[in-house]
Amino acid sequence: ETGVTQTPRHLVMGMTNKKSLKCEQHLGHNAMYWYKQSAKKPLELMFVYSLEERVENNSVPSRFSPECPNSSHLFLHLHTLQPEDSALYLCASSQGMGEQDTGELFFGEGSRLTVL
């Protein structure tokens, strides 16, 4: 496999459920990201990990919990979500994160989440 793979592609859950989104990158990159994309709104950065350490958390509600066990895998654990959390969740990776890195992002296909 190549690129960035996200599973599941579609997820429907109730507000009391607990589920997880999974992301795997096969590009040897050092940084991984979670973005949220809602209709007609810009991509919102949620979490950034560099070398498995969280370096950015954009004031995301605690009902979203990221986990990065190694540089190739990233999870987003979901619990007690709200209907307004329904969106496309995109995982991405990049080669580096320094000031000199131009940091093109390689995205997965996304996980379409619907909260009932």
Partner 1 sequence: SQKIEQNSEALNIQEGKTATLTCNYTNYSPAYLQWYRQDPGRGPVFLLLIRENEKEKRKERLKVTFDTTLKQSLFHITASQPADSATYLCASRGGGYNKLIFGAGTRLAVHP
Residue 51 CB, shortest distance to partner 1, in Å, is 12
Cα–Cα distance between 2 and 24 in angstroms, integer?
10
Between 66 and 110, whose beta carbon lies closer to partner 1? 110
Cα–Cα distance between 89 and 44 in angstroms, integer?
10
Residue 57 CB, shortest distance to partner 1, in Å, is 11
Please, are residues 93 and 2 in contact by the beta-carbon 8 Å criterion? no
Residue 102 CB, shortest distance to partner 1, in Å, is 6
Between 16 and 42, whose beta carbon lies closer to partner 1? 42
What are the CA-CA distances from residue 10 to residues 49, 86, 108, 116 (Å)? 24, 11, 13, 14
* Residues engaged in binding partner 1 (CB under 8 A): 4, 6, 31, 40-43, 45, 48, 50, 55-56, 88, 90, 92, 94, 96-98, 101-110, 112
